[in-house]
Structure formats: structure tokens, C-alpha cells
Chains A and B, each alone.
Chain A
Amino acid sequence: MQTQSRHNYKEVTLLVVDDDDIDAIALERALRKLRLLNTLHRARDGLEALTLLRSGVISPPYIILLDLNMPRMNGLEFLEALRADPILTHAVVFVLTTSKSDEDLVAAYRKHVAGYVFKQHMDRDFLEVIGLIEHYWRIVELPVNKEMS
């Protein structure tokens, strides 16, 4: 039974787009703590993330965890580029940010993000977020880009 259910879903790849090393390490630690072995990729800004995605290094299905405040190309600009890309437009994105601004929130949902998570508390956040995302990928069918491209 157990082996059966394991094969029912494909292991999801995570792409963290965040310029802050600490947030990236925190996500890694949260995955480890929950004993999840998903592949974790890291980009430091929107441009790096686009390059990674377009290079095909990141195997679908994947979920993008996106920070908003970043150098060069920020989160909202990244979403803009993502949705304009015929292949990447299907990507599932969760915004993880310290920005409480309503404008940012509305703008992010306008770009069809799956969720806008506010990093308010200093602790527990990443555990909860990773927990949420783990449930999400076990239950939700994710697009598999390869077939579309």
C-alpha cells in the first residue's frame, strides 16, 4: 500500500527566489526537519530565477517560493515576466514576503499566485509554510511543463 501511494505523486522540486541567505538556509533547515527530501534550488533575484527555469535545470513539477524585495528584478517584475512566458506561465508561485503592503498583495494575486504568505513571525514561519506546501503538493495536481513544451 505504502509503495503504491508513493508512486501516486511525483516528487516536487522547490525553487526559492530570495536574495537573503538566511531565508534560504531557513527553508533548507525546515525541509530537513520535516524529513522531506525534495530538491531545493535557489535564485537570488528574478533574473537568476528566469535563467534557471528556462535552462531546464529545474525538473517539473515544481513550486516557486518568491520573495518580493530583491535587487535587479524584484518579485512582481519576475511574475510579470513569468506570466508573459508561454511555457512558464503555468508555474505555481507562492509569495513569501515581509511586505505588508496592500498594493503588493493585490499586484501579486493579479499575477495569479497560489498564495501570499506574510513572514510576520520570526519563528515557526518556515515550518508552517513548508508544511502547507507539502500538503499542497500531495493533494493538488501540478502542471507538468514538459508535455506542454
Chain B
Amino acid sequence: MSSNTSDMKQTDDRFRQVVEAAPNAMVMVGKSGIIEMVNTQAEIIFGYRRDELLGQSIDCLLPERFRHQHPHHRDSFFSDLRPRAMGIGRDLFGRHKDGSEFPVEVGLNPIETEDGIKVLSAITDISARKRMEERFRQVVEAAPNAMVMVDKSGIIEMVNTQAEIIFGYRRDELLGQSIDCLLPERFRHQHPHHRDSFFSDLRPRAMGIGRDLFGRHKDGSEFPVEVGLNPIETEDGIKVLSAITDISARVKANQKLAEHHEELERSNKELATFAYVASHDLKSPLRGIFQISQWIEEDLGNGDILSIPSHMNLLRGRLRRMELLLDDLLAYSRAGRMEGGLSQIDLGVLAHDIFDMQALPEGFTLVTAENLPTFTTLATPLEQVLRNLFTNAVKHHDQLTGRIKLDWQLKNKDYYEFSVTDDGPGIPPEYHERVFVMFQTLRPRDEVEGSGMGLALVKKIVETYGGKTSITSDGIRGTSILFTWPLNIKGRTPIANSI
């Protein structure tokens, strides 16, 4: 018997030593909640000496507001004896001797002793961890971009104010929801797959490299985003913290930049053409004039007066050509800039007005299709286009009489297509591209006076408003010049001065 008693005492001592050596606070209570054993850690975290605790109710270690529920909880533990964590889903607090409170985690273990069942509680002060969590929350909140943390199944666990702003949801509308609500619908079905592959290879990275990503605002609108993904290890398992940046502004700026770039390139190309032209086309009449003046001098010196009138004729021709070139260059450089205002036009009436104003040779008539549209547009550039096409058709005609037809169709929902068709000599297909180039003529200038600017000007104006020019002709008889013109024209602010 005595050896049995000493055995039991030995076991009891060993148990006390184990409890004492435990890394966290341990408190053993009986069924009525009276403290029967504590270890040094318990003295430390609660601030009581051991002798102040033994024999007291465990309630003294609880904040007062929880004390009245405690006996009830304790009873239910004793009625279902198994080791478990206390108060799952609730925040637990311990009460220090000085009255302060601190967050705790408590594990409960039933222990059988000869005095009956006791409860051994292991109590961990989790203030430090709570502080870390709070700090993490603050960092997330302070981040300059939207942050959303989701768990493995894609449920949102944390968002910051930026996330509320860019997605238009309140925080409480997001927490507990699937991250899918922040995605455009068409991407949702792929998302679980992408999320799984992220969880299978955990490392911080950008989402969807090489794809354009979009977020979905509460109002259903979409916006381009950049998303960085970071795996975060928490006690609840791995979470993903996504940093989401709304890049609408950047995308818009890039688009604008690209447009400016294109515009600049075009205007540079024009400048290069202009320099080339200025050195050749503008200089050649000058050289001619100089030369003729020498001939006049020479021939007068030789007494050859009869040649003078023809020299003079040539000379005046060159001067006229020079003037024409300069006028047309000016018109070209202004194309798309002198657009006047919007006005409603009846194209049938306008076309006849333009045709009549050109003082074209008598034998030429304009035929317009029936039902030419009446619409609101920038009249000035459209007049310029038609004027050039009409005079061109007449100037290059090989007969004394001719018929010019203006026709139209609705090309698509945004553009009309107009065509000016003549019954002149036609333009062989191999020249169709060239005729739209600045200063290109198909006949020597000494035969048909022209700057070679007409169609280049037409093309430039039409393209300014997003339209296209084209030409059809078999090169035997008749030419159609077609151009598209927007139904709804918008005045534009040129960003680079052409020429």
C-alpha cells in the first residue's frame, strides 16, 4: 500500500513538473472552477503570485463581463469531456491583476485524478500576434492601390479602402463574397482554374502576364487593371493577397500617345515630301523663268525679234504655274484645319452650286443621283473635296463635252460613300496609286497646267475625317473617284501642324 502511495506521489510530482515546464500558462481547476494548480507562466501573464491564485475561482482571470457565462460554459465542457479549444469563433480575453485585458487562446484538457475530473487549461497570450495582425491590416489599408485578400476557395477576407473605391462596393458588401464578383462575367469560369494553379506554385507574381486584365465595377462597367499576387501564410492556411491597380488612365495616356505619334509621323512625312517638292517643283519654274530671260537677251542681241513673243508666252506660263503651286500648297497645308463650322447641307444643291461656281467650260454638265442625303457636317472640307474632283474631271477630259456624275451609297453605319464619275480618258490601273501622291501628274505640265495637288488634297482631307479614297477606271474610258465621309462628323483639334 505504502509503495503504492509513494508511486502515486511520484506520478503526481512528475505531472507537476511537466506542467511547470510547459511553455505557456497552465491552470488546473476542479469542477466548481476553483484553481488547484498554476505554473510560473500563469503567474507571469496574469501578474498574480501562485499563492494568490490557488483556492480562488478561475473567474478572477476573466474580464468581469464574461464571468456570468463562465459556469455555464464550464458545465457544458464537463458534460462532454474531450480536449478542445475554448470559445471557437469568439475572441477570448484574459484579465491581468492590474485590471488590464489581453487576448488569449485557451486549450482545454480533461484530466482524471483521484479527486475526480479536473480541467487543465493551456493559456497563450496572443497580444503580440494580434498586434502583428493589426499592423498587417494597417499596412494593407495604407497601400496606395486596392488590396483584396482571399482564401483558397476565393472568398474575400479582407479589402482596403482603395478596393472599395475602384470597385464601388462597400467593405461589408465584399467580405465573405467570392472574388468573382470583381471580375467581368466572361472571365469568371476560368478563374478557379487560375487560382488553383497559383496555389499549386506559391510565389509572388503578376497575374495574367501577356493578357489584358479587367476589373468589374459594381455598376457593371469594366476597367483595365494590373494585378500582383502574393501568397500569405496565416494560421488559417495560405491566403492570397492581391494588389490591384486601375490602369485606365495609363491605358488612355498610351492610346493618346500612340495617336500623337502617328499624327507626328504623318506630318513629318508630309514635311519631307514638301521639302522635296519645294526643291524641285517650285524651283523648276524659277529656273525656267531665268533661262527664258537669258534667251530673250541673246535673241535680242542677235536681232531675232520674232522669237520674243513665244518666249514671253512661256515666261508667263511659268509664272502662272508658280502661283498655282503656291496656292495649292497653302490649301494642302490647311486641309483639315480650316473646317469652319457644322451646318446642315443638302448635298444635291451644294454639288450644283459648287459646279456652277467653277466656271467650267460650257460642254460639261453635272448629273447628281436622286435622293442625295441632307445631313449635318463640316461643309467647308466637303466642298473642297467636291470642287477638286469636279475641276479635275473636267481638266483632264479629252473631249469638248462631258458628263460628270455624283453618286452615293451608305457604306456602313458610320460612313457614306460618294463617287464622282467622269467620261474622260480614264486612268490605267498602274497609275491608280500614283495619282493620289502630291505633285504627281500623268501628263506633262506643259500640256495640262496642273500642280498635281488636286487628288493629294482630296485624299488628305478625306483621311483627316477617318475616310478613305479609292479609284476605279479601266484606263479606256471614264474614271470614278470614290471617297467615304462620316455620317456624324466631329471637329478635331489638330495636334501637329501639317506643313
What is the interface of chain A, defined by CB distance below 8 A to chain B?
19-23, 25-26, 29, 44-45, 69-72, 98-101, 119, 122-123
Is there an interface contact between A122 and B290, defined as CB atoms closer than 8 Å?
A: yes
- Given A44-B444, A72-B442, do A22 and B280 touch, yes or no (CB 8 Å)? no
The CA-CA distance from A23 to B286 in the complex, in Å, is 12
Residues of A within 8 A of B295 (CB): 25, 29
Residues of B within 8 A of A119 (CB): 287
Chain A's closest residue to B448 (CB) is A71
Is there an interface contact between B291 and A22, defined as CB atoms closer than 8 Å?
A: yes
Is there an interface contact between B441 and A69, defined as CB atoms closer than 8 Å?
A: no
Residues of A within 8 A of B431 (CB): 72
- Out of B279, B443, B444, name the residue touching A98 (CB < 8 Å): B279
Is there an interface contact between B443 and A71, defined as CB atoms closer than 8 Å?
A: yes
Query: Separation in Å of the A33 CB from the closest CB of chain B?
Result: 9
Interface contacts beyond A20-B288, A122-B290, A123-B290: sample of 9 additional A-B pairs, CB < 8 Å, sorted by A: A71-B440, A71-B441, A72-B442, A98-B279, A98-B280, A98-B284, A99-B276, A99-B279, A123-B291
Q: Can you list 18 A-B contacts (CB < 8 A)?
A: A19-B444, A19-B445, A20-B445, A21-B446, A22-B291, A44-B447, A45-B444, A69-B280, A71-B441, A71-B442, A71-B443, A98-B287, A99-B279, A99-B280, A119-B287, A122-B286, A122-B291, A123-B290
The CA-CA distance from A99 to B276 in the complex, in Å, is 8
B246 close to A (CB within 8 Å): no
The CA-CA distance from A137 to B478 in the complex, in Å, is 47
The CA-CA distance from A82 to B318 in the complex, in Å, is 31
Is there an interface contact between B279 and A100, defined as CB atoms closer than 8 Å?
A: yes
B281 close to A (CB within 8 Å): yes
Residues of A within 8 A of B298 (CB): 29
Chain B's closest residue to A122 (CB) is B290
B195 close to A (CB within 8 Å): no
A-B contact count (CB 8 A): 56
Residues of A within 8 A of B446 (CB): 19-21, 44
Nearest 9 Cβ contacts at the A-B interface: A122-B290, A19-B444, A22-B288, A21-B446, A71-B441, A44-B444, A98-B280, A71-B442, A122-B287
Query: Separation in Å of the A120 CB from the closest CB of chain B?
Result: 9
B155 close to A (CB within 8 Å): no
Is there an interface contact between A21 and B281, defined as CB atoms closer than 8 Å?
A: no
Residues of A within 8 A of B324 (CB): none
Residues of B within 8 A of A29 (CB): 295, 298
Query: Separation in Å of the B303 CB from the closest CB of chain A?
Result: 16
Is there an interface contact between B294 and A71, defined as CB atoms closer than 8 Å?
A: no
Residues of A within 8 A of B294 (CB): 123
Chain A's closest residue to B445 (CB) is A19
Interface size class of B (residues with CB under 8 A): 20 to 34
The CA-CA distance from A25 to B295 in the complex, in Å, is 10
Residues of A within 8 A of B411 (CB): none
The CA-CA distance from A15 to B318 in the complex, in Å, is 24
Is there an interface contact between A71 and B444, defined as CB atoms closer than 8 Å?
A: yes
Is there an interface contact between A98 and B283, defined as CB atoms closer than 8 Å?
A: yes
Query: Separation in Å of the A41 CB from the closest CB of chain B?
Result: 16
- Given A98-B283, A100-B279, do A22 and B314 touch, yes or no (CB 8 Å)? yes
B292 close to A (CB within 8 Å): yes
Query: Separation in Å of the A133 CB from the closest CB of chain B?
Result: 19
The CA-CA distance from A59 to B287 in the complex, in Å, is 31
Residues of B within 8 A of A101 (CB): 276
Is there an interface contact between B284 and A20, defined as CB atoms closer than 8 Å?
A: yes
Which B239-287 residues have a C-beta within 8 angstroms of A?
276, 279-281, 283-284, 286-287
Residues of B within 8 A of A122 (CB): 286-287, 290-291
The CA-CA distance from A71 to B318 in the complex, in Å, is 18
The CA-CA distance from A119 to B283 in the complex, in Å, is 11
Is there an interface contact between A69 and B292, defined as CB atoms closer than 8 Å?
A: no
The CA-CA distance from A85 to B276 in the complex, in Å, is 30
Chain B's closest residue to A104 (CB) is B276
The CA-CA distance from A21 to B285 in the complex, in Å, is 11
Query: Separation in Å of the B475 CB from the closest CB of chain A?
Result: 12
Is there an interface contact between B279 and A21, defined as CB atoms closer than 8 Å?
A: no
Residues of A within 8 A of B444 (CB): 19-21, 44-45, 70-71
Residues of B within 8 A of A19 (CB): 444-446
Query: Separation in Å of the B167 CB from the closest CB of chain A?
Result: 56
Is there an interface contact between A22 and B292, defined as CB atoms closer than 8 Å?
A: yes
The CA-CA distance from A22 to B283 in the complex, in Å, is 13
Chain B's closest residue to A69 (CB) is B280
Count chain B CB atoms within 10 A of each CB in A26, A29, A119, A122 and give the residue with the most.
A122
Query: Separation in Å of the A102 CB from the closest CB of chain B?
Result: 12
Is there an interface contact between B314 and A21, defined as CB atoms closer than 8 Å?
A: yes
The CA-CA distance from A99 to B443 in the complex, in Å, is 20
Chain B's closest residue to A103 (CB) is B276
Chain B 279-313 against A: per-residue CB contact (8 Å), 1 yes, 0 no?
Answer: 11101101110111011001000000000000000
Query: Separation in Å of the B452 CB from the closest CB of chain A?
Result: 8
Chain B's closest residue to A68 (CB) is B280
Is there an interface contact between B281 and A69, defined as CB atoms closer than 8 Å?
A: yes
Residues of B within 8 A of A44 (CB): 444, 446-447
Query: Separation in Å of the A24 CB from the closest CB of chain B?
Result: 9
Query: Separation in Å of the B289 CB from the closest CB of chain A?
Result: 9
Residues of B within 8 A of A99 (CB): 276, 279-280
The CA-CA distance from A72 to B290 in the complex, in Å, is 27
Chain B's closest residue to A21 (CB) is B446
The CA-CA distance from A29 to B311 in the complex, in Å, is 13
Count chain B CB atoms within 10 A of each CB in A22, A100, A119 and give the residue with the most.
A22
The CA-CA distance from A26 to B444 in the complex, in Å, is 17
